[in-house]
Structures are given as structure tokens and as C-alpha cells.
Amino acid sequence: MASAKETYRTELRAAARQLGERCLYSAAKWAAELLVGVDLDTSPAPSSAMDSPSSSSAVSAGRLLHLHRSGGSSFRHRFRPGGASSSEAGTPLGGVSYVSTPIPDDDSFDSGGDKYLLAKTYFDCREYRRAAHVLQNQVGRKAVFLRCYALYMAGEKRKEAEMIEMEGSLGKSNAVNQELVALERELSTHRRTGSIDSFGLYLYGLVLRDKGCEDLARTILVESVNSYPWNWSAWSELQSLCTSSDVLNNLNLKNHWMKDFFLASTYLELKMHEEALKRYERLMGIFRSSGYIQAQIATVQYSMRDLDEAEMIFEELLRTDPFRVDSMDIYSNLLYAKESLTALSFLAHRVFLTDKYRPESCCIIANYYSLKGQHEKSVLYFQRALKLNRKYLSAWTLMGHEYVELKNTPAAIDAYRRAVDINPKDYRAWYGLGQIYEMMGMPFYALYYFRKSSYLQPNDARLWIAMAQCYESDPLQMIEEAIKCYERAANSNDTEGIALHQLAKLHDVLGQSEEAAYYYKKDLERMEAEERQGQNFVEALLFLAKHYKNIGNFEEAGHYCTRLLDYTGPEKETAKNMLQGIKRLQSGFPSMDIDHFAL
Amino acid sequence: MSLFAGVGGGAAAGDPASAGGTGRALLELTPHKLAVCHLVQVFAPPAQAGGDVVPPFPFESVAHHNRLGLFLFTLTRSCDDFREPSLEELLRQLKAVDDLTNGWLCEQLTSTLSVLISPDDLFNFFDKLRGVLTAPEGAGAEDILLDPNSQLGVFLRCCILAFNSMTFEGICHLLADLVMYCNSTDASYDLAEDEDFDTEMSNLMDADISSQADIYQKYRQGRESESHMGESSSALTRAPMILHDFDEANTFKVDEDNPTSLRSRWQLEAYLNQQADLLEKDPSSVPLNSFNATMTQLQTLAPELHRVQFLQYLNALCHDDYVASLDNLHRYFDYSSGMQGLFGRSVSAVQDVIVGKYEGALLCLGNLHCHFGHPKKALEAFSEAVRVSQMNNDDSCLAYVLGAISNLLAKIGMSNTVGIVSSPYSLGTNIGLGTPLSIQQQLLVLLKRSLKRADLLKLPSLLAFDHLSLAKFDLKNVQRPLVSFGPNASTKLRTCPADVCKNLRLSSRVLTDFGTDALSTSSENGSFSTSWLRNLATASDSRRSSSMKSTKLHNDFDNFHYLAQPSPVPSPVLQLAGSSYLLRATAWEHYGSAPMVRMNALVYATCFADAASSSELSLAYVKLIQQLAVFKGYSAAFCALKLAERKFPSSTSSHIQLLRMQILHERALHRGHLKVAQQICDEFGVLSSSVCGVDIELKTEASIRRARTLLAAKQFSQAAAVANSLFSTCYKYNMQVENASVLLLLAEIHKKSDNAVLGLPYALASQSFCKSFNLDLLGASATLTLAELWLALGSSHAKRALSLVYQSLPMILGHGGLELRARAHIVLAKCHLSDPKFSVAEDPEAVLDPLNQATEDLRVLEHHEMAAEAYYLKAIAYNHLGKLDEREEAAACFMEHITALENPRKEEDSLAY
């Protein structure tokens, strides 16, 4: 065990250094963080200067899933590759043995070592073009990579600037990274001649993705992670290209332990929560104090609506890592859902002081204002978050909610629609769109959106109920369709129990009292199990009593009537009358027969 | 000022979620605009103090000067593309104007643009421009050539304003773009063009010899010249793509060209409108994918221009892509919240063209479902649209929705409304009548409501549409009062042709109304300028003219007027006005006046072809060809059909396809080729959708044809069964007009099966139907059938039969087709022959004349059965007269036709034409 952990540590240590040398900061950050996260009890961490507990923020720039009180979503930083971690063999987490990947030994500086040093300092100061210029005519792999990477970054920087400069009356024109073409040409030549290392492959993958060649990009990234698995940025790019589980299953990945991180986070993204949780918990066994894994577990639990558990983890995380901003927007969503105003304000204050120009920070503050009921301000902060990251999906969805509160329907629709166009699988935004249209009195039109959302999330009872309510609404009156939807809802664990009750009612309306009785009974059982009582309970009892009386099952009818007697209100009187009627009938039947014969 | 009204309005109606329109210029400066600015400066040089020469320096005459002015004017308004032309293209066009100065303008333009290399040069450039608009001190106002409020003046001012409000970054971008713009053209552009022109000419020369190798060769040459020109010029080899060659050229250029040179917003919207018109007119000419690609490209360039999505919706709709059209529809309305207008001819606040917000979405959704044949969903959408527009007080949308509902009700057969319009908000019941209304009554009520609203709200096009629908309704339905109190209420159960006529006339008023009304502002879509530019190109190089003619649906009229300008009437108006003529033709078809049908269809085909959609235009052709078939026989009809098929490929035009099958079926029946007839019948049956209530007319026709085929095959009971079931279907769907012909068919069947007594009531019923629906020609043929039935009852009824025939003769001889006329003649002869009091010897002409006429007509029709009958009668008549030679001759002819009928040879020929 200890030795396995020691290998992890060695690998991660080397990776953090190698990645850092190549200016792949966030990947290096990720690796270093994980390095410190490895169970501490065995060796009291000697080693390099690298593992001083990295403070400010955890987790790489990968893609995190931000499931929100209503918006499941993902966002990603536009660029910046991330770190990696390393280790070989070790405890097979799932009983499978891992492939060991040798740590490439590339610390030998090529001839232009000094120039590389200069270029790296330029790069660190964000003088990308200068860095690239210094490395001109250098042929070492490392130098080539850094030059290309610097060029790429320079292009990205220019692109961002241009995006703002070129904003016209018809919206932004699509600025492109001007370096892409040249980079692609150079990198593909290198790849053909075999003079490319895994970092170069990673960059090549980035370039291809930006150019829209997703399939090739996937292949290249797989090559990259197979040869150097500790580059988390490469994994997360790969993850962003895995849009369905089919694609995921078709990847030809070596069974390195880093793959578990990748799989877990991809499962989370693909909403396969159970699988994700399983993997994270296994990983947690080794990297016991990794903030990243904790945050991911909390996210999964939040997505599975296990709020209390998730809150505990987040609190713990904040205690050990008080200046963390990553994933904190999910924590704020959670607090919003739990309506803990104080905790939310505390969190907002803290992230504001840490770094107010992070999209997450803005989102947290917006959540706070929203909970306070100050929706204008909330919208303002969401807009700021979106300025910082236009593809911040959950912010679009949440802003849609705020506009709904402000009764600004067109703006709300617009916001939701943007969320949907960023990620067409965001069922919550579809649902939001449906809700707005329903509110505007357009149930038929809303159906399209509900259909979309329930197609994406077929096991969510709320979506089916929303659809059913549309069908059931006054103008449409399509009872049969409504019943079908309610049936789906009842089959997919409808916690609020709306579906059963409505099913019973609708069947009653259609005059199908057998079915109605069936559902009322089921509803009763459910309410009894949850020890819930109320108007619905009384209604169910009353119907059942009447129904059994009508079909002549006086015993059952009597049973329900007596239960009704426990409640006050007009139903009690009805029940009394019915009981009397039943008694009369039970005793009266024979006499009636006699009368009949007498006639 | 109207030029930029749209631009300003567009900026104001921006995206609600975005931060607001701060710092948005009226238009974005692009190199192309700089070039135009420079030309404006040449056109109207800064006034110098002192005496000016008119015209100014490079121009030789006032006309020449004006030509440049007109050219500049159209440049700012043309809308044949969404991206601005390259310098090369501009120079090419300019050359046409520039002939007289020997390329001075072009040279000057390129040299001026290429010396703008630093930001300061740009500042100076615009400084000089300012001089165009302001008079120097001491000069009178008349020294300025350019009125600051003219189109060009406004354009110039907008450019100057845009430059002044530009950030330094913007200027840097402009400079970079300018360099690219200038480099995109070859320095030796004029040389290259001349060469190109020569090869092109030689291509045209040998175009006639179309061997495979030749085409290949030409294609290669075309490619070469293309690489010179950028514009596609190998027109001949890619004829079907001509309309879209600009699209293709764009996709080619997109990578190297500067991606930001979009046209002004006004031009973009005009472009989109034009594309929408094109889609509506002739969807088959717009390839689904390449159009989508173009639109996606435009969308990436202008993400906030949501109308693009609407176009994508239209495109998907026209190509029957249900999912894509639904997606795009929702996306469009989600983004624009309906604020960019539905019919969006302009963004100005004109009542007619702006239809509400989300109710517009519902209206579109309903139309979509209607298009895809989902009547129930369509009705749900429409009734929701009614509700929402009532809620939002959107009267014009309401009017449109009502129009759409009536269109739906008229189009789709529904036996009753129960379960369809059953909600408490149902459309028909809220007029306050307790009794449920039949679908026809509901339709009428809706139409009248829509009409009233359209009148109140001054929506001329909707008004015209409603009048048309009312005319259609009156044509086929008897208007009964909705409530009749007591026995005194007079019920005249007849349709009223006068009403139809009135409505048709009223609908044409849209042509006069649009000028004074809202539509006029929307008519400015730049097409005039676009075609001016195109014609300029046509004049300068003839190569385009040959290719354009063959593919575009032109008014034939235009062929006589070289370089004819488009009609100033906007095409939607023309289209509506045109449909009234088409409907007139249909009405006359019903009432039975062949010349009027021909005339109206001809008017439509010659005068409205420009605006007509391909399906409507093909309908007019179909009517004309049908007339040909009936009056001139099949060979003439097939000749015309071939022409029509060339114009509308039968794969794309269902009308033409149907027509072909109709004529083939008729001919097969006449020739006695029953197998072929049966085969065509089967094909007919497949064409219609299997959904109940959809394609009713097609299904009816298929059944009628099946019954007739069975009748020709002497399977009387089966034919009668088909006809009977058809009758009940028609009855169920309230299709009374069709019932008249079905009844007549039943009478025919009984007559042929020698059950004259049974046939009589059917014939009489048919006759009375014809009377109440004013179907005069059909009535005449019913009368004729009646006469035949009487005749079949025995010679004692010959007198009565004769009088019936005489009754129907004026109508039949005036308007009837060949077959009907021949039949009338034969019956006439038969009446005479079977009349015991009539002797042939006394008046041979009375019998022989009609028979000769009949044989003449039937020969053209190749109708063996009737021809045999005619010859038989002729032989008898000659026999009576004792003319044995003629008798033998007639008998031989009779024999010939009978054998042809009984032993059909070369049946497969019947499928060819």
C-alpha cells in the first residue's frame, strides 16, 4: 500500500515539475494538488518544494459540472492546459491492474537551455509572442512545444481582444485564433515525422478542436494521454469531446490510474451519477485529502439531490481550503436550495474578497441577491459572470430564472435559449422555457419544450408532471395524453405524489372508476407510508368509500367511512350519512327482496 | 431618409438581454464602403470656389455623369448577397459605367485605396469627404453637387459619422481589411478579364455541339476562367446551379476573404426577404443543404440577426424536414421574441407587417402542422394563437389566424368538428348560437370575422386573401342563413355566382390599395436596385443573359422587352392579385365556360409568372393543357405537356405529374387499353396520403377514375360499388360539387348496364345538383345522359329525348369538349333514327351532319368505342338512303374501331407520349 502510494507520489511530483516547466500551469496545479492529497499517514512528505499545500484554488481548469438548483451545466475555461499526476501499478482500485507508464525523462536540456529559460520567463510574464520569438530556430522538442504553445496563447489573447473590438450592431463577428492554421501545419508535420512528444500532441489536439475537427482531435488527445497520462488538461479536453457514452466507450485508452479520474468526471458530465460516485469514492481511498475529489463528490451528491451530505463536504472543504473558489458556485446553489441565507452571504463575502473577477464569484453573489429577493441586482451579477465567461451555462439558466421573477419574459426566454444553444442537453433550461410559455398561457407551445426536456431526462417525474399539466390545462383538455404522462411520472419515483393523485382524479373524470380507485388506493398507501395527511388524503378516502359503496362492496366502503370519521369538516358528515346508508342497505336488502316477492 | 429607417429601427430593436445599444454605429465601415465613398466623391467633387464646369472633370456628358450616380445609388441598395462585393467585382461593374473614360475611374479607385496605409491617411480621406457635403466659405449653396439629404448624401454622412465614432482599434481593423480588400484583386485585372471574356465567347460558340468531351473541355475552361474571375462563369455546364452560383462562390471565398464585410443591416434584411420570396416561389430551386450552409455562415457573421433562423425554418419547411423546421421555428421565436416581425418586410412600425409576439409563433406553428398534414395539431396551435392574441390585444395577428384557420378548414376534410374544436374556447361556438355548427358554417363565420377585422385594421393583403377564400367558399357551398326563423325564411338553395364574382373583383383591389396603404413602404426591398445591377452586368457581358433565361421563371412578357425592369408592384401583392385570376379560371371551369378558363389561365401565365410560386404557375399550365386535351386532342396536349415538363420537372411539381397521369388515363380509356388504365389508377391511389381527411381531392379523383376504368371493363357492379362508396365519402365531407359528377357517373353506369330505369333518378339528381351549384356544362351533360336513358327506354320516348338534347345543345356546342360534342351529335342522330316518325330519306342531313361531325371529333380523340357507334349509325343511315358504297365504307370503319377496341394492340404505347 505504502509503496503504491509512494509511486503515485513520485509520479505526481515529476509530472508537476514537467508540466510546470512547460508552462502548463493548471495541469501542474492539478497534479501538485493531488500530490498533496495522497494519504498522508504513511510518509510525512519529504521531497521537493513542490508540495507545499497549494493555497488559493484547487482543481484544474477542466470541466466541472455545475448542477444547480435548476440548471445542470458545465463550463470550461477557454484555454490553459492543466496538470497531470503520475504513478504506476499500485493498488488496483477496481481489482484491475493498471498499466504502468514510465515517466519520461526529459530534464536534459537541449542545447538552447538558456534561451528556453528566457522564453519561459517571458511566458510567465505573459509576453507570449516574445517567448515564441526567442525560441525561433530551436529544434528540441521542449523548445518546439513551448514556442507553439506560446504562439497559440498569443493567438488566443489576440482573439479575445478582437472579440471585444469587433462587436457590431449585428452581434459579435467570429474572431478566430489567427495562429491556428500555421500551428496545425507545423504540428501535423512533426507528428508525421514522429518528432512530437505527448505535450505537443496535446497542443495539436487543442488546435484541432478549435478548428472544428473533433474526431481527429479526439484521436490525438487519446494518443497524448496514453503516452503521458498525468496531463489533466488533456484529459479534460478529451472529456469535453465526449458528448455521449457511446463516444466514451469507443475511446481506446490505456488503463492507467488517471483514467479513473477521467471516467469519473465524464460520468458526472454525462449525468451517470451512480457510476461517478462509485469511482470517486474508490479514488478517495488513496487520495484521501484531495480537495478536488471532495468537491467532485459533493457535486455528484448535489446532483443526486443529497443536499445535506453535499453541504457537509463543502463545509469541510472550505475549512481546509478557505480561499477556494472552484466549485463554490455549486455550494452556493446548494445553499440557495436550502435557503440558508447566512451561510450564503458568508460565502459570497469570502469569495468576493478572494477574487471578485471570477465567474464563480459573480454567480455566488447573484445567488445571494436572488435569495434576498433582489432580482435586479442578481441579474446584474449574472451578467457580469457571463461577461467573464460567455459559455457559463448555469449562469444563463439562472439568469433566466431571475428574469422570470422580474416578469421579463422575453429576456428570460432569450437567456434560457442561449443556455440551450450552448448545451442542447441542458434539460433544465428546456424545462424553464416550457414553464415560461405555460405561464404565458401557451400550453400547446410549451409542450414542445417539455417534450425536449423529458426526452433528455426521462426519469425525472417533475418533467412528466409539467407536461401532464399542460395537457390537462383548460384550453387543451387532452386528458388521455395527460394520463399517459402522469403514469410515466408515477413510475419514475414522484416524490411529491402529485402524479398518483392526478391519475386518480383524471380517471374519475373519464368515468373509469376502477382505475381511479386503484390509483386512489396507491396514493393512500403512499401517504400512509410517508405519514402525510391532508386534503388529498380525505379526498381519496371519500372517493374510495363512495366507489366501494357503488359497486356493492359494503365492507370496504364501511372501512373507509370509519377512517373518514377521524377528520373534521363536511366529509365527516358525509361519511356518517354514508355509514348509515350502508347499514340500511345491508339490513335492508333482504327486506327489499321480500317486498319484491310480495308484489 | 427611408434608406436608413430600417437600420436605425433594427439597432433599437436589439437583443433584450444584451447590455443595450451603447456605441453602436449606424453602419459599420468596410473597405467596400470606403470605395463607394470615394466614388461618391468623384461623382460630386468638393465644390471649388469659382466657376464649376458641369459635368465635372472625367465625365463627358450629363448622361454619363448620371449613370455613375445611378450606379452608386444601386450599390447602396442592392441586395443580391449578404456580403459585400469584392473589389474585383466592383471594378467589373464599374467598368460598365466607365467605358467612356477608358478605365480612368477604376484606376483612380484602386490607386486611391491602395495609398491608404496609415490611420492618418484615413483621417485625411474622411476630411476630404466632408468637403463634398459642405460648401466652402463664400460659395453659394447651389455650388454643392450633393444634397446632404439625398440617398448618397445620407450614406456619406453615415460613413463619416461611423468613422468619427470609431475607436482606434476599429481603425486598425479597417486598415487591415483594406489591405486584404485591395490585395484580393489582381493588379492586372482588366487584362485577365478580357482574356476570360474571349474564352467564354468561344465556349458559347461551340455550345451547340454537345458531345461529352466537349462539355468536359468546356468545364475545364470554365474552371480556369473561374480561378481568374472568382465569379462562376462556367454557366453552361452547371445550368441548374446558376441561381446559386453566388452562394457557391461565397463558400469558396469565405476562407481567404475578410469575414467581416457584411452589408448594411437594411441590405441584409432585404437579402433575406428576397431569399424568402425565392423559397416560397420555387423551393425546388433552392438546395436544402447549400442554402443552410449559406445561412449558417451568415449567422456566424451576424449572430444577433435572428431572421436568419426564420429563413432556415422556411427552408426546412419547403424541403419537408419536420424536425429541423420545428427546431428552427422555436429557436427563432425564442431569440427574437417575435419582435423582429413575422413577415418582416421592414422593421418600421407598420401595422400590417408586424404581427405580435409569441402569438406569431403559434401562427407559424399552426401553419407548419398544416403544411405537414397534422390538422388536429394545427387547430390546437391556431386556437391557442387566437387565445393569446386576444389576451394581448393583437388584432392583426388574430385576423391572420382566423384566415389561417379558414384556410385549414377549407383544405382539410373533416366530417364534423366534434373532438377537434371541442374546447370551451372553441372557435365556432362563441358567436352565441346554441346549436353546433357544421364545419362549413364555422368556416363561413370565421371567414366573415376575419374579413371584417382585416377591413377594420386596413390589412389589404389579408383582405384580398379573405375575399379569395370567400369566393372559393361560395363556389362550392350553398350559403344558408345560419338561423332561419319560421317558415317565412326564404331558403334559396343555390350557389351564387354573383357573390363569387364580387369577391374575386374585391380581392383584386389589393392591386390598387397597396399604393396608398401600408404595403407600399414594405415594397422597398431593393430588388429594383439588384436587378439594375444585374442588367448592368447583362449589358456589359452577354454571357449571362443566355444562362439566366432558361432557368428563371419569367413573365413571358419579359421576353419581348429586352432588359425589362421588374414590376414596381411588390411580389406578394402581385401574387395575391394573380391568384384571383387563377381562381377565376377555376370558377369558370366549374360553371363550364371553356374560353373564360383559357383566358384567365393565360392572363395568369403571362402577367403574373414573375411573382407566382412554381406550384401555382404550374397549375395555370395544367389548366391550359387540360383544355388542350379536351378541345384539341391528345397529341396537342402531350406536345404542350412536354414543354411544361421541361419547365417544371415532374419530380418537383405534383400538378404536372397529376396532369400527365390524367391525360394518359383518359387516352388509355378511349383507346380501350384497360390494363394501362388500371395501372395508372393504381398509381393515382398511391399518390395520396393515407391519413384520413388529408388529400381529399386527390382521393376523390382516384376513386372516380377507378370507377370509370371498371365501367370501361364492363364490371358494372364493382364500378357501382366504388361510385356508391365515393358518394358516401363525399357526402360525409360535404363535397356537393363532387357529388354531382359522382351521381352522373352512377347514371352512366346504370345506362351502360342496360338499367335505364335505375339510372334515371341518378341522372335527375345529378341534374338538380348541377342546377343548385350552377354547374352548367356538367348539367348539360347530365341532360344528355338523361336523354340517352329515355332513349334506352324505347323508341316511344324518342321525342322527349330529342327535346332534351336540343335543350342541352347550345351549352355543349358552345363550351363542351370534343368528346361531349361527339356524344351529343351521336345522341341526336340516334334520336332521329329511332323516332318512328322520322325518315332518313326526307332529311338525310339531320342525321349525317352530326354523325360526320362526331366521327371527325372522335378521330382526334382516338375514342374507339364511340367512334364505332358513330360509324354504325352512319352505316344504318346510308343503308336507309340506299347508298351502298358509303354504307360499306362506314361499316368497314366500324369494323376497324371495334377490332381496335376488342383486341388492343401495343398497349404499352399508351404509357408513352
Q: What ipTM was reported for this prediction? A: 0.76
Least confident of A524-538, B397-411, B517-531: B517-531
Q: Which pLDDT score, from 0 to 100, does residue B695 have?
A: 76
Q: How confident is the model at residue B237 (pLDDT cuts 50, 70, 90)?
A: very low
- Chain A residues whose CB is inside 8 A of the B424 CB are 474
Q: Which pLDDT score, from 0 to 100, does residue B293 have?
A: 84
Residue A155 above 90 pLDDT? yes
Nearest to A475 among B173, B331, B423 (CB): B423
Residue B806 above 80 pLDDT? yes
Q: A62-79 pLDDT, tens per residue?
A: 333 333 443 333 333 333
Q: In chain B, whose CA is at the least distance from the CA of A384?
A: B19
- Nearest Cα of chain B lies from the Cα of A365 at a distance, in angstroms, of 19
Q: In chain B, whose CA is at the least distance from the CA of A447?
A: B381
Q: Which pLDDT score, from 0 to 100, does residue A564 have?
A: 83
- Chain B residues whose CB is inside 8 A of the A443 CB are 384
CB contact (8 A) between residue B422 and residue A448: no
Q: How confident is the model at residue A203 (pLDDT cuts 50, 70, 90)?
A: very high
* CA B211 remoteness from chain centre: 36
Q: Which pLDDT score, from 0 to 100, does residue A128 have?
A: 93
Q: A86-110 pLDDT, tens per residue?
A: 333 344 444 456 777 777 665 555 5
Q: Which pLDDT score, from 0 to 100, does residue B247 have?
A: 39
Q: B653-664 pLDDT, tens per residue?
A: 788 888 888 999
Asked if B418 has any chain A CB less than 8 Å from its own CB, the reply is no
Is pLDDT larger for residue A147 or for residue B397? A147
Q: B395-420 pLDDT, tens per residue?
A: 778 878 888 888 887 777 654 444 44
H-type alpha helices, A457-569: 461-472, 479-491, 498-509, 513-529, 535-550, 554-564
Q: Which pLDDT score, from 0 to 100, does residue B23 have?
A: 39
- Chain A residues whose CB is inside 8 A of the B388 CB are 440-442
Residue B261 above 60 pLDDT? yes
Residue B594 above 50 pLDDT? yes
CA-CA distance, B76 to A17, in Å (whole number)? 61
Asked if B136 has any chain A CB less than 8 Å from its own CB, the reply is no
Q: Which pLDDT score, from 0 to 100, does residue B743 have?
A: 92
The predicted model gives A546-572 an average pLDDT of: 83
Separation in Å, CA A581 to CA A550, A552, A566, A567, A571? 12, 12, 19, 19, 15
A184-193, A565-574, B26-35, B242-251, range with greatest mean pLDDT: A184-193
Q: Out of 1.25.40.10, 3.40.50.2300, 3.80.10.10, 1.20.1250.20, which CATH number does the structure's domain A254-321 have?
A: 1.25.40.10
Asked if B888 has any chain A CB less than 8 Å from its own CB, the reply is no
Q: Do residues B297 and B43 touch, judged by C-beta distance below 8 A?
A: no
Asked if B25 has any chain A CB less than 8 Å from its own CB, the reply is yes
CA-CA distance, A209 to A238, in Å (whole number)? 10
- Nearest Cα of chain B lies from the Cα of A334 at a distance, in angstroms, of 26
Q: Do residues A429 and A419 touch, judged by C-beta distance below 8 A?
A: yes
Find all residues with CB under 8 Å of B41, minimum gap 6, and list them. Answer: B128, B129, B132
Q: Please list, residue by residue across B156-180, b when 16 or more beta carbons sit within 10 angstroms of its beta carbon and e when fewer do.
A: bbbbbebbeebeeebbebbbebbbb
The predicted model gives B20-26 an average pLDDT of: 43
- Nearest Cα of chain A lies from the Cα of B865 at a distance, in angstroms, of 57
CB contact (8 A) between residue A413 and residue B337: yes
Least confident of A571-580, B92-101, B350-359, B722-731: B350-359
CB contact (8 A) between residue B259 and residue A174: yes
Residue B24 above 80 pLDDT? no
CB contact (8 A) between residue B335 and residue A414: yes
Is pLDDT larger for residue A34 or for residue A75? A34
CATH number for the segment(s) A1-37+113-161+176-241: 1.25.40.10
The gap between the terminal CA atoms of chain B, to the nearest Å, is 58
Closest CA to B910 of B627, B656, B634, B704: B634
CA-CA distance, A431 to A470, in Å (whole number)? 12
- Nearest Cα of chain A lies from the Cα of B16 at a distance, in angstroms, of 6
CA-CA distance, A378 to A402, in Å (whole number)? 7
Overall residue count recorded for chain B in this entry: 913
Q: How many CA atoms lie within 13 A of A345 on its CB side?
A: 6
Residue A294 above 80 pLDDT? yes
Torsion of CA A360, A364, A370, A372, to 10 degrees: -170
Residue B574 above 60 pLDDT? yes
Is pLDDT larger for residue B3 or for residue B680? B680
Domain boundaries, chain A: 1-37+113-161+176-241, 254-321, 500-587
Q: In chain A, whose CA is at the least distance from the CA of B385?
A: A442
Q: Which pLDDT score, from 0 to 100, does residue A149 have?
A: 94
At the top level of CATH, the class of A500-587 is: mainly alpha
Q: How confident is the model at residue B270 (pLDDT cuts 50, 70, 90)?
A: confident
Nearest to A433 among B17, B334, B388 (CB): B334
Find all residues with CB under 8 Å of A41, minimum gap 6, and list them. Answer: none
CB contact (8 A) between residue B387 and residue A441: yes
Least confident of A186-195, A196-205, B91-100, B184-193: B184-193
Identity (one letter) of the amino acid at B406? S
CB contact (8 A) between residue B362 and residue A165: no
Is pLDDT larger for residue A521 or for residue B336? A521
The predicted model gives B591-617 an average pLDDT of: 85
Q: Which pLDDT score, from 0 to 100, does residue B516 have?
A: 53
Q: Which pLDDT score, from 0 to 100, does residue A346 have?
A: 92
Q: A256-268 pLDDT, tens per residue?
A: 889 999 999 999 8
Secondary element (H or E) of residue A36: helix A25-37
Which one-letter DSSP state was computed for residue A50?
Answer: G
Residue B215 above 70 pLDDT? no
- Chain A residues whose CB is inside 8 A of the B305 CB are 170-171
Q: Cell numbers for B274, please give them.
A: 428576397
CA-CA distance, B406 to B422, in Å (whole number)? 17
Q: In chain B, whose CA is at the least distance from the CA of A412?
A: B17
Is pLDDT larger for residue B224 or for residue A418? A418
- Chain A residues whose CB is inside 8 A of the B10 CB are 169
Q: How many CA atoms lie within 13 A of B390 on its CB side?
A: 10
Q: In chain B, whose CA is at the least distance from the CA of A176?
A: B259
Angle among Cα B267, B271, B273 to the nearest 5 degrees reads: 115
Asked if B576 has any chain A CB less than 8 Å from its own CB, the reply is no
- Chain B residues whose CB is inside 8 A of the A162 CB are 173
Is pLDDT larger for residue A452 or for residue B1? A452
Asked if A477 has any chain B CB less than 8 Å from its own CB, the reply is yes
A124-133, B457-466, B589-598, B690-699, range with greatest mean pLDDT: A124-133
Closest CA to A433 of A71, A75, A66, A171: A71
The predicted model gives B519-523 an average pLDDT of: 45
- Give contacts of A 561-590 with B, CB under 8 A: none
- Chain B residues whose CB is inside 8 A of the A168 CB are 24, 28, 260, 262, 302
Rg (CA), chain A: 31
Q: Which pLDDT score, from 0 to 100, does residue B287 have?
A: 81
CB contact (8 A) between residue A414 and residue B391: no
Q: B489-515 pLDDT, tens per residue?
A: 455 667 777 888 888 888 877 767 665
The predicted model gives B124-151 an average pLDDT of: 72
Residue A496 above 90 pLDDT? no
Q: Which pLDDT score, from 0 to 100, does residue B707 have?
A: 92
Q: In chain A, whose CA is at the least distance from the CA of B166?
A: A165
- Chain A residues whose CB is inside 8 A of the B389 CB are none
Asked if A92 has any chain B CB less than 8 Å from its own CB, the reply is no
Closest CA to A12 of A320, A232, A340: A232
CB contact (8 A) between residue B173 and residue A165: yes
Q: How confident is the model at residue B139 (pLDDT cuts 50, 70, 90)?
A: low
Helix axes B265-281, B2-12, angle to 10 degrees: 90
Asked if B592 has any chain A CB less than 8 Å from its own CB, the reply is no
The predicted model gives A215-231 an average pLDDT of: 92
CB contact (8 A) between residue A442 and residue B388: yes
Domain boundaries, chain B: 31-46+54-136+144-184, 613-717, 817-912
Nearest to A169 among B19, B25, B425 (CB): B25
CA-CA distance, B766 to B778, in Å (whole number)? 9
Q: B301-325 pLDDT, tens per residue?
A: 777 788 888 888 888 888 888 999 9
Q: A361-391 pLDDT, tens per residue?
A: 999 999 999 999 999 999 999 999 998 888 8
The predicted model gives B724-742 an average pLDDT of: 86
Least confident of A449-453, B282-286, B361-365, B374-378: B282-286
Nearest to B391 among A441, A444, A445 (CB): A441
The predicted model gives B112-118 an average pLDDT of: 86
Residue with cell 369558370: B588
Q: Do residues A93 and A283 touch, judged by C-beta distance below 8 A?
A: yes
Angle among Cα B14, B19, B21 to the nearest 5 degrees reads: 50
**Percent of chain B topping pLDDT 70:** 71
Which one-letter DSSP state was computed for residue B343?
Answer: S
